[in-house]
């Protein structure tokens, strides 16, 4: 695995990959890598000749300075982890390499960015889209591998690729969970043991929705959301939002449409923000 920190060097490598007609899968991350990221790397390797992973904690997508300061970082372990997953190039630019003085451009994907996460984290998706587009320009992958754990992010990036006629195939990887159901997340490392136990109410609530839809035929969003609120509330966890939305437009829907629906949840536990979702 080659570790690259300079954009210029990465561009030289990309030129050579193009010259030799190799397909490239790109996995953008913010480090503190876990098995969920590992799954993305595996999917990258399965789908292309070469897998490039980036590790960049993108300050522009944090609307809360404390959150950025506390975000878990483990660069040495991340390199070993990526190497063990057969990654070919590990791109870890410094902040001022990505955003030199005078950097002005930002990318905004309209109303999709202002709802849900965007409502609670203003400017978040502008930061995400700006960094992802910049990374795509540097790496010029044939495939972009992202997790469905961040469902809204996935929809927005997919929309950006379409709007900007970018010929990149997006691969969505289902959420990887711990054995007890908690969705793997870099932020889980910040949870106390007690809060981690409490966090299990999120996957429990999503499971309950599946049960109600599949076994009891309940499709009415209001009823399903009530079940979520009660599962989260009884666990003593602060619910930021729970929504049932069309999986493409992210607009709330009155009734679940099987095959076309996301159920999205965001909570706060002991100051840590966690999100999760399920597709129905």
Examine residue 142 and tell whether it contacts ligand AMP (CB under 6 A): no
Nearer to ligand AMP, 171 or 225 (CB): 171
The distance of Cα 133 from the centroid of its chain, to the nearest Å, equals: 15
Positions marked active-site:
37
The single-letter DSSP state of residue 263 is E
Place of tokens 């975000």: 71
Query: Which range of residues in 14-22, 99-107, 176-184, 248-256 is near ligand AMP by CB under 6 A?
Result: 176-184
Among 54, 113, 152, 185, binds ligand AMP (CB under 6 A): 185
Among 24, 29, 48, 275, binds ligand AMP (CB under 6 A): 29
Among 40, 51, 92, 136, binds ligand AMP (CB under 6 A): 40
Contact present, 162 and 135 (Cβ < 8 Å): no
For the CA atoms of 273, 96, 104, 138, the dihedral, rounded to the nearest 10 degrees, stands at -90
The single-letter DSSP state of residue 111 is G
The CB density around residue 180, as the number of other CB atoms within 10 Å, is 11
Examine residue 175 and tell whether it contacts ligand AMP (CB under 6 A): yes
- Whole-angstrom distance, CA of residue 243 vs CA of residue 178: 23
Distances (CA, A) of 105 to 93, 114, 121, 165: 18, 19, 20, 19
Examine residue 218 and tell whether it contacts ligand AMP (CB under 6 A): no
Examine residue 146 and tell whether it contacts ligand AMP (CB under 6 A): yes
Query: Which range of residues in 78-86, 97-105, 144-152, 260-268 is near ligand AMP by CB under 6 A?
Result: 144-152
Query: Which range of residues in 5-13, 37-45, 91-99, 239-247 is near ligand AMP by CB under 6 A?
Result: 37-45
- Whole-angstrom distance, CA of residue 4 vs CA of residue 54: 9
- Whole-angstrom distance, CA of residue 161 vs CA of residue 126: 14
Query: Which range of residues in 71-79, 99-107, 183-191, 212-220 is near ligand AMP by CB under 6 A?
Result: 183-191
Among 186, 221, 261, 278, binds ligand AMP (CB under 6 A): 186
- Whole-angstrom distance, CA of residue 97 vs CA of residue 29: 17
Examine residue 38 and tell whether it contacts ligand AMP (CB under 6 A): no
Minimum CB–partner distance for residue 145 and ligand AMP (Å): 7
Which positions lie near ligand AMP, rule CB under 6 A? 29-30, 36-37, 39-40, 146-147, 149-150, 173, 175-176, 183-186
């Amino acid at each position: 695995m080659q570790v690259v920190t300079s954009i210029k060097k990465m561009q030289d490598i990309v030129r050579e990959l193009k010259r030799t007609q190799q397909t490239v899968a790109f996995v953008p991350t913010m480090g503190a890598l876990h098995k969920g990221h590992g799954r993305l790397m595996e999917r990258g390797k399965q789908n292309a000749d070469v897998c490039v992973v980036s590790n960049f904690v993108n300050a522009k997508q944090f609307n809360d300075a404390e959150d950025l300061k506390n975000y878990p970082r483990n660069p040495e372990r991340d390199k070993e982890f990526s190497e063990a997953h057969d990654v070919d190039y590990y791109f870890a630019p410094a902040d001022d390499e990505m955003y030199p003085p005078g950097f002005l451009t930002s990318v905004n994907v309209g109303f999709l960015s202002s709802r849900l996460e965007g409502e609670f984290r203003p400017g978040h998706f502008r930061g995400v889209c700006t960094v992802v587009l910049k990374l795509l320009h540097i790496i010029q992958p044939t495939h972009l591998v992202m997790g469905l754990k961040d469902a809204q992010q996935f929809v927005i990036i997919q929309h950006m690729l379409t709007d900007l006629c970018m010929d990149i195939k997006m691969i969505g990887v289902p959420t990887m969970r711990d054995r007890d159901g908690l969705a793997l997340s870099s932020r889980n490392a910040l949870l106390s043991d007690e809060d981690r136990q409490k966090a299990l109410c999120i996957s429990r609530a999503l499971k309950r929705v599946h049960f109600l839809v599949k076994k009891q035929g309940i499709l009415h969003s209001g009823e399903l959301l009530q079940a979520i609120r009660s599962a989260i509330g009884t666990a003593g966890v602060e619910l930021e939002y729970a929504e049932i939305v069309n999986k493409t437009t992210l607009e709330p829907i009155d009734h679940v449409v099987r095959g076309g629906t996301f159920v999205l949840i965001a909570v706060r536990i002991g100051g840590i923000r966690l999100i999760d979702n399920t597709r129905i």
